[in-house]
Chain A
Amino acid sequence: MFSFFLLTGILIISLFFFLLGYNRAKNLINLNQKNLHSLTHYYGIFCSLSALLPTLGVFFIFTICDDLVFAELVKEYIPNEVINSKDYNFTIVLAQINNSVEGLIFGTPPQWITNAAEIWKSWVIKSNILTMIVCAITILTSGFLSYKKIHSEFRSRNAVEKIVMTILAVSSVIAILTTIAIIFSVVFESIRFFALIPYDEFLFGTVWNPQFEGAERAGSGQEGLSQYGAIPLFAGTFLISIIALCVSVPIGLFSAIYLSEYASSKERAFFKPLLEVLAGIPTVVYGFFAALTVAPFLRSSGSMLGLDIASESALAAGLVMGIMIIPFISSLSDDVINAVPQSLRDAGYGLGSTKNETVMKIVLPAALPGVVASIILAVSRAVGETMIVVMAAGLAANLTANPLEAVTTVTSQIVTILVGDQEFESAKTLSAFALALTLIIITLGMNFYALHVVKKYREQYE
């Protein structure tokens, strides 16, 4: 609430500076009886921007940093015997204190937590006052400094444009920052994971059985209790992707051929968006559909045929995922097939071939790189897909090639491990980050490969 009011205050004051700058420019025009270099409103914008931006920076730094600083400071108020005790965990203690600050008190917390919470509250008030004062000083000084700059020779439009250009350039860096943040968050935790578990066990182990056992893996006679062999997860992911491809590749490809070669333009305009609807349905809906409609259906029809299908089977998840990725194949392939120049088709017809022969022997081979790329992209989509497998494929890490059994995938393990409360120190939590790292590497690798295929084998026409 406090931040909200402060932000509104900052915005109002910068608006006020706009009016100041605007009026000063007007007065200058009246005084000198001569137009200024820039339009009047640029002087206002210059004033308000140069007041607003530094203040916003200060504001964000303060609001982000205060909790971090408090967390450091509060360490002094934790009694030594708690710190020295065996199961001391600072994150949990911090959470307890924070809950106490917010008035969420479960049972009767120890006295020192209540004390720390009281001190924390007083810090919050102090830091709020401090933030307010610093913001006020920044906005007033930078505002008045920019106000003083305005005189008859000042080129405010150029100044404003410089500021705006910088803002644009900075925002384009956000994309890079996001990538760095992703890599940073995944790689660091993965390194910690591989310090606990050797990477060859992770990559080549065949048993996946994570358990919470604290940071220490060795000792306490619990060795071998949890195992981090990711092969079953990769196998499950692979199995489900294969099933999905078996559904989506024939349907997607034949749809694409029909839409681009046989369909009238009206049919095409109707069916192409209709197929794309399949890609727009939220994955959680597919997951629900797979778990509550497809899986029971498969189970009952399987028992009629004498097959024992698990209620959470790879088949159900794979089938539904196949439906989901149909549009990725059909739409992309359709675009690629359409891009094959008409002259090739005409040449085929000129030689007396039927439409089938033209499509199969001339158009498709020419469009093949694009088609392959679309399939690879669809696979990378299937590998990274989460909700369907979480809801329909189960959690049992079976190493099996039987689509009727329950399998688990990389993404569904990530979700099960990281949802809910977790200790950040345990190998189990860290394993999710290692899984995420492999997931990123696999999907990005596939995307690069798809691009490479397109680039390398693309036929250059004209």
Chain B
Amino acid sequence: MLCMLLKNTENNMNKKIINPEEATNIVKNSIVKRRSKDSRLKLFGRAAIGLAVCFLLFLFYSIFTKGYPGFFQYYVTLDINFDRERIDPKGDLSDNSLFDGDASAIVNESLFSIIEPKGRKEKKLAKKIVSSGKDVRIAKMVKDDPGLFGTVTQVKFALDDDIDSFLRGYIKRETPESERRINDKVIGFIDKLNEEGRISYEFSDYILSGSASGNPEMAGIKGAFIGSLLTLSVCLLIAFPLGVATAVYLEEIAKKNRITEIIEVNINNLAAVPSVVFGIMGLAIFISIFGMPRSIPLVGGMVLALMTLPTIIISSRAAIRAVPPSVRDAAYGIGASKLQVIFHHVIPLAMPGMLTGTIIGMAQALGETAPLLMIGMVAFIVDIPNSVVDPGTVLPVQIFMWADFAERMFIQKTSAAIIVLLGFLIAMNALAVYLRKKLERRW
């Protein structure tokens, strides 16, 4: 830098010396150009920020407009005759008995009475209008309220995903029949149902309470959500104590020597390792060597814990460093031991900073997909996991799986799941910001 300046002055000295008037003129003539250059740079800066913010807004807009309809779906209202003989042949409301029952046939009869299909072929088509989850729905209803038996009640059933896409206008009436996923007869049935006022567009009761399903109209995020919750709790329980303990050890206890230096370099390196590599480590160590089962939240949480550990350690160390030495000296002065100083004074004072770092780390873990794919959390699991050793999946992986499915309705459901995920991430980050603002002390 300095060299360059010196060189420049040397060059200038070699030039012939100009008188002050000339110099003022040169400067005056160039000033407009220089100022416009200045405002151009400012403009570029503004444009760059504007562009980035536009990307962000467009991303949110595109996800939101795609995902908002995903929370809703089309239902058909049918009059169901709750005939105990047929729904619950053994009369004990057990799963077995309800499974033996003939609930879907009752639904189909009710449907046929409205749209009046002729012949077997039409009946077969008509049956497919209502989602295949209809018998499960009736079974659930009578279990919740056995008083329904013997009554005729109006029940709402989800429509099949192709019908749903048709009603939303993604499948067009004008398209030639052979290129449509639903044929003219079915469209006729739907028109009939519409005329009777049987079809309604309502908040979906599957998206939040359903589990993974091959039928898009019945797919929901509850299973993945609980899986995420279990995985994150394992991650938190491992990463938070370990991270804080490491930070305390490195900042307060360890002497600066070879070993602590190695540990520090290690932590920085771990922060730079791509997340997919942590998944490979989980696959090779936890699953292959320790023989733990695949797809369980316990292994997922352990892998994510190791991944978020550097984030937590680094922010915890910064928080500990921010506690002024005078606090420690005062505690020593009244006779506290080293660990008493640490546990009674330093850690409580550094806690807000540590918590902020931990929340940010957890937000990272919540959105992470690649390492969990590696340890098999991508398996298709319908059951909602009850504990950390039940196979399960997590929200981001669910999003990844749904994004791969061909059915049109999964796009909306995926975007809806993304909205839920982003909602949680924003909430966590807001909490972190709030904690930082509220609890952080300036010394």
Chain A positions within 8 Å of B, measured between CB atoms, are 1, 4, 64, 67-68, 71, 157, 161, 164-165, 167-169, 171-176, 178-179, 181-182, 184-186, 189, 250-255, 257-259, 261-263, 271, 273-275, 277-278, 280-289, 291-293, 323, 326, 330, 352, 354-357, 359-360, 365-366, 377, 380, 383-387, 390-391, 411, 414-415, 418-420, 424, 432-433, 436, 439-440, 443-444, 447, 459
Q: Please tell me if the beta carbons of A168 and B291 are within 8 angstroms of each other in the complex.
A: no
Q: Please tell me if the beta carbons of B274 and A386 are within 8 angstroms of each other in the complex.
A: yes
The answer to whether residues A283 and B291 also contact, given A172-B249, A174-B309, A257-B41 and a CB cut-off of 8 A, is no
Contact stretch, chosen from B32-40, B114-122, B203-211, B213-221: B32-40
The answer to whether residues A175 and B246 also contact, given A182-B277, A385-B274 and a CB cut-off of 8 A, is yes
Tell me, in angstroms, the Cα distance from A386 to B59 when the chains sit together: 19
Q: Please tell me if the beta carbons of B399 and A419 are within 8 angstroms of each other in the complex.
A: no
Q: Please tell me if the beta carbons of A171 and B278 are within 8 angstroms of each other in the complex.
A: no
Tell me, in angstroms, the Cα distance from A377 to B288 when the chains sit together: 32
Within the complex, the shortest CB–CB distance from A350 to chain B, in Å, comes to 14
Q: Please tell me if the beta carbons of A274 and B53 are within 8 angstroms of each other in the complex.
A: yes
Tell me, in angstroms, the Cα distance from A32 to B266 when the chains sit together: 52
Chain B residues, Cβ within 8 Å of A262: 42, 45
The 22 listed contacts between A and B (C-beta, < 8 Å) are A71-B291, A168-B245, A172-B254, A174-B306, A178-B281, A181-B281, A185-B284, A258-B46, A258-B48, A280-B367, A281-B59, A284-B369, A285-B421, A285-B422, A289-B62, A354-B37, A355-B42, A387-B400, A411-B276, A418-B279, A419-B373, A433-B280
Chain A residues, Cβ within 8 Å of B378: 419-420
Chain A residues, Cβ within 8 Å of B136: none
B237 adjacent to chain A (CB < 8 Å) = no
Residue from A181, A282, A326 having most chain B Cβ neighbours under 10 A: A282
Chain B positions within 8 Å of A, measured between CB atoms, are 1, 27, 34-35, 37-38, 40-42, 44-49, 51-53, 55-56, 59, 62-63, 66, 241-242, 245-246, 248-250, 253-254, 262-263, 266-270, 272-281, 283-285, 288, 290-291, 306, 309-310, 313, 337-339, 363, 366-370, 373-374, 376, 378, 387, 396-397, 399-400, 403, 411, 414-415, 418, 421-422, 425, 429, 433
The one of B56, B246, B400 in contact with A174, judged by C-beta atoms closer than 8 angstroms, is: B246
Minimum CB distance partner of A422 in chain B = B283
Q: Please tell me if the beta carbons of B242 and A255 are within 8 angstroms of each other in the complex.
A: no
The one of A172, A255, A259, A411 in contact with B263, judged by C-beta atoms closer than 8 angstroms, is: A172
Minimum CB distance partner of A386 in chain B = B370
Q: Please tell me if the beta carbons of B41 and A359 are within 8 angstroms of each other in the complex.
A: yes
Within the complex, the shortest CB–CB distance from A293 to chain B, in Å, comes to 5
Chain A residues, Cβ within 8 Å of B51: 251
Chain A-chain B contacts (Cβ-Cβ < 8 Å), number: 257
Residue from A377, A380, A384 having most chain B Cβ neighbours under 10 A: A384
Given contacts A176-B263, A252-B48, A282-B396, 4 further A-B contacts (CB under 8 A): A175-B270, A355-B38, A387-B400, A439-B277
Q: Please tell me if the beta carbons of A168 and B249 are within 8 angstroms of each other in the complex.
A: yes
Chain B residues, Cβ within 8 Å of A282: 366-369, 396, 421-422, 425
Q: Please tell me if the beta carbons of B403 and A386 are within 8 angstroms of each other in the complex.
A: no
The one of A175, A280, A287 in contact with B403, judged by C-beta atoms closer than 8 angstroms, is: A287
Q: Please tell me if the beta carbons of A271 and B53 are within 8 angstroms of each other in the complex.
A: yes
Q: Please tell me if the beta carbons of A254 and B338 are within 8 angstroms of each other in the complex.
A: no
Q: Please tell me if the beta carbons of A391 and B403 are within 8 angstroms of each other in the complex.
A: yes
The answer to whether residues A444 and B253 also contact, given A280-B425, A323-B55, A365-B1 and a CB cut-off of 8 A, is no
Tell me, in angstroms, the Cα distance from A251 to B52 when the chains sit together: 7
Within the complex, the shortest CB–CB distance from B33 to chain A, in Å, comes to 10
Within the complex, the shortest CB–CB distance from A71 to chain B, in Å, comes to 7
Minimum CB distance partner of A164 in chain B = B339
Q: Please tell me if the beta carbons of B411 and A176 are within 8 angstroms of each other in the complex.
A: no
Chain B residues, Cβ within 8 Å of A433: 280, 284
Q: Please tell me if the beta carbons of A255 and B49 are within 8 angstroms of each other in the complex.
A: yes
The one of B44, B284, B366, B376 in contact with A189, judged by C-beta atoms closer than 8 angstroms, is: B284
Tell me, in angstroms, the Cα distance from A386 to B53 when the chains sit together: 24
Q: Please tell me if the beta carbons of A250 and B48 are within 8 angstroms of each other in the complex.
A: yes
Chain B residues, Cβ within 8 Å of A440: 273-274, 277
The one of A182, A271, A357 in contact with B278, judged by C-beta atoms closer than 8 angstroms, is: A182
Q: Please tell me if the beta carbons of A175 and B313 are within 8 angstroms of each other in the complex.
A: yes
Tell me, in angstroms, the Cα distance from A169 to B246 when the chains sit together: 7
Minimum CB distance partner of A188 in chain B = B284
Q: Please tell me if the beta carbons of A181 and B285 are within 8 angstroms of each other in the complex.
A: yes
Tell me, in angstroms, the Cα distance from A440 to B82 when the chains sit together: 63
Q: Please tell me if the beta carbons of B339 and A176 are within 8 angstroms of each other in the complex.
A: no
Tell me, in angstroms, the Cα distance from A386 to B370 when the chains sit together: 6
Tell me, in angstroms, the Cα distance from A459 to B2 when the chains sit together: 11
**Which 5 residue pairs are nearest across A and B when measured between Cβ atoms?**
A258-B45, A384-B274, A282-B367, A185-B284, A254-B48
Chain A residues, Cβ within 8 Å of B266: 175-176, 179
The one of B41, B276, B425 in contact with A356, judged by C-beta atoms closer than 8 angstroms, is: B41
Q: Please tell me if the beta carbons of A275 and B49 are within 8 angstroms of each other in the complex.
A: yes
The one of B59, B262, B283 in contact with A289, judged by C-beta atoms closer than 8 angstroms, is: B59
Within the complex, the shortest CB–CB distance from A140 to chain B, in Å, comes to 27
Tell me, in angstroms, the Cα distance from A288 to B59 when the chains sit together: 10
Within the complex, the shortest CB–CB distance from B342 to chain A, in Å, comes to 9
Chain B residues, Cβ within 8 Å of A286: 59
The one of B56, B267, B369 in contact with A175, judged by C-beta atoms closer than 8 angstroms, is: B267
Chain A residues, Cβ within 8 Å of B263: 172-173, 175-176
Chain A residues, Cβ within 8 Å of B254: 169, 172
The answer to whether residues A161 and B367 also contact, given A254-B48, A354-B35, A436-B277 and a CB cut-off of 8 A, is no
Chain A residues, Cβ within 8 Å of B429: 280
Tell me, in angstroms, the Cα distance from A184 to B289 when the chains sit together: 12
Q: Please tell me if the beta carbons of A354 and B38 are within 8 angstroms of each other in the complex.
A: yes
The answer to whether residues A171 and B245 also contact, given A391-B400, A436-B276 and a CB cut-off of 8 A, is yes
Q: Please tell me if the beta carbons of A418 and B59 are within 8 angstroms of each other in the complex.
A: no
The one of B34, B66, B281, B290 in contact with A182, judged by C-beta atoms closer than 8 angstroms, is: B281
Q: Please tell me if the beta carbons of A171 and B246 are within 8 angstroms of each other in the complex.
A: yes
Tell me, in angstroms, the Cα distance from A365 to B246 when the chains sit together: 38
Chain A residues, Cβ within 8 Å of B367: 280-285
Within the complex, the shortest CB–CB distance from B45 to chain A, in Å, comes to 2
Chain A residues, Cβ within 8 Å of B52: 251, 255, 275, 278, 323, 326, 330
The one of B55, B270, B369 in contact with A283, judged by C-beta atoms closer than 8 angstroms, is: B369
Q: Please tell me if the beta carbons of A185 and B246 are within 8 angstroms of each other in the complex.
A: no
Q: Please tell me if the beta carbons of B55 and A278 are within 8 angstroms of each other in the complex.
A: yes
The answer to whether residues A185 and B403 also contact, given A168-B249, A251-B51 and a CB cut-off of 8 A, is no
Q: Please tell me if the beta carbons of B276 and A165 are within 8 angstroms of each other in the complex.
A: no
Chain A residues, Cβ within 8 Å of B44: 254, 258
Q: Please tell me if the beta carbons of B285 and A185 are within 8 angstroms of each other in the complex.
A: yes
Tell me, in angstroms, the Cα distance from A443 to B241 when the chains sit together: 28
The answer to whether residues A444 and B269 also contact, given A282-B421, A285-B421, A415-B373 and a CB cut-off of 8 A, is yes
Chain B residues, Cβ within 8 Å of A185: 280-281, 283-285
Chain A residues, Cβ within 8 Å of B62: 289, 293
Chain B residues, Cβ within 8 Å of A284: 367, 369, 396-397, 399-400, 403
Tell me, in angstroms, the Cα distance from A360 to B1 when the chains sit together: 13
Chain B residues, Cβ within 8 Å of A169: 249, 253-254
Chain A residues, Cβ within 8 Å of B242: 171, 174
Chain B residues, Cβ within 8 Å of A377: 272
Within the complex, the shortest CB–CB distance from B79 to chain A, in Å, comes to 40
Q: Please tell me if the beta carbons of A443 and B63 are within 8 angstroms of each other in the complex.
A: no
